[in-house]
Amino acid sequence: MTTLAPTPDLDAATVVDRLRTTFATRRTAATDWRRGQLTALRTLLTDHRDELLAALAADLGKGPEEGYRTEIGFTLNEIDHTLDHLDAWLAPRPAELPERLLPATAHTVREPLGVVLVIAPWNYPLQLALSPLVGALAAGNCAVVKPSELAPATSAALARLLPRYLDAEAVAVVEGAVPETTALLAQRFDHIFYTGNGAVGRIVMAAAARHLTPVTLELGGKSPAVLDPGVDLATTARRLVAGKFLNAGQTCVAPDYVLAVGDTAKDLERHLAEAVHEVYGADPATAPEYGRIVNERHFDRLTALLDGGRTVIGGTHHRADRYLAPTVLADISPDAPVMQEEIFGPILPIVAVPDLDAAIAFINERDKPLALYAFTDSEETKHRLLTETSSGGLAFGLPVAHLTAPGLPFGGVGESGMGRYHGEYSMETFSHTKAVLDKPLG
């Protein structure tokens, strides 16, 4: 796989100036313009579905069903939800006033911010570029989209198609790698929305500070899945496999590791093996819906983690096509390399802990995760995890799917990020909520 050539002679200042000129015309603030852009984005995704699926397959070996569901279909849902609620989200909201200010009225309005920058990662290269863009356009902004250079086919498709369907004076795509992103970050934006790792997140935030630009940082980390004794292990294993091995484990909210309470670890192993066989067959290398590792660097990083424990299933790998089998490791010590950083690949370690207290302590001794999952039948366990731990999201019984509910905010806390989006939360992120007071002079 090759990475992209830099954008020749990128003049980031000119790109941003052009969008700023468009924003100054106020045309992007009109509700009709916003609806028009969202509808055009919808048309792009349906007109070019096959081409986009081919790009996702080229970049990540994504199968067509998974590619459609997690990237194109996901974004279409986000667009439809936004179109359905746009008028309500833009309606002025009356505010209560204290008696001493009466007679007067007060309300809030959401106004566009201006020119925003969306920096996307490679793992869901379409969804994570376009779903923030949906929010940016719905809120009436101009936007620069910077796709990931590590997903070059999708990046090229976005650069080719977005200007054809959207208002090209209001939306720009800048392809490229670190030099191009650095050039963009030197410009003044009204919001920067970054999805990726925490190291670059810090670079983005430092650059934004120079212009006092607000940021949303959608980062990652190790998302644990707590397993209580006595739960239905067949169902649990099927759902863990579906969430973990989606996109070959390269999902920011994938369950990173299992924290098996009591003596559940041993029984879970057998059920996980059965579930992997059920979903991917005897040889996952030939399963059409099983993806590949994005590049050799990540492949080498992941295969170096395989020695951390006893291999329950998987472990097989082929560097030539960057295949790493769905792998489960057991008897894992907390000091094992696989437990030090976000895995971001198809390796599921099982860590045994004696009781729920130990599981909660284990979670709280580490960075706040983007997601916390638990498989339990106990309301008390749910309550304790809800009130005694902190994470971007918390889901019982089903990993990953919470981010597909547009009514729920999606974002991290602490090391897993700041800010949130999806649905109305995107509108909030990409708007300024202005306070308006109106007191008669008479």
C-alpha span between 79 and 138 (Å, rounded): 9
Q: Which one of 74, 122, 280, 373 is in contact with ligand NAD (CB under 6 A)?
A: 122
User: Hey, is 116 helix, strand or coil?
Assistant: strand
Tokens representing residue 56 in the block: 């996702």
The residue (of 157 and 312) whose beta carbon lies closer to ligand NAD is: 157
Tokens representing residue 296 in the block: 């050799």
The residue (of 63 and 417) whose beta carbon lies closer to ligand NAD is: 417
Give the shortest CB-295-to-ligand NAD separation in angstroms. 10
Half-sphere exposure of 147 (CA within 13 A, CB side): 30
Q: Report if residue 219 touches ligand NAD, rule: CB under 6 A.
A: yes
Tokens 């484990």: give the residue.
249
To the query of whether residue 78 is one of the catalytic residues in this protein, the response is no
**Is 108 in contact with 93 (CB distance < 8 Å)?**
yes
CA 316 to chain centre: 28
Tokens representing residue 65 in the block: 């069903």
C-alpha span between 400 and 188 (Å, rounded): 34
Q: Which of 159, 168, 213 is nearest to 186 (CA)?
A: 213
Q: Report if residue 123 touches ligand NAD, rule: CB under 6 A.
A: yes
Q: Report if residue 187 touches ligand NAD, rule: CB under 6 A.
A: no
Q: Which one of 52, 252, 330, 395 is in contact with ligand NAD (CB under 6 A)?
A: 252
Q: Report if residue 342 touches ligand NAD, rule: CB under 6 A.
A: yes
* Local structure of residue 139 (DSSP, 8 states): T
Q: Which one of 105, 197, 311, 404 is in contact with ligand NAD (CB under 6 A)?
A: 197
Instruction: Catalytic residue, from 218, 269, 415, 428: name it.
Output: 218
Q: What single string gives the DSSP state of each residue in 37-56?
A: HHHHHHHHHHHTHHHHHHHH
| The one segment of 92-100, 116-124, 225-233, 381-389 that binds ligand NAD by CB under 6 A | 116-124
The residue (of 109 and 156) whose beta carbon lies closer to ligand NAD is: 156
Give the shortest CB-138-to-ligand NAD separation in angstroms. 18
Q: Report if residue 421 touches ligand NAD, rule: CB under 6 A.
A: no
Q: Which active-site residues does the annotation give? A: 218
Query: What residues line the site for ligand NAD (CB under 6 A)?
Result: 119-123, 128, 146, 148-150, 177-178, 181-182, 195-197, 200, 203, 218-220, 252, 342, 344, 370, 412, 417
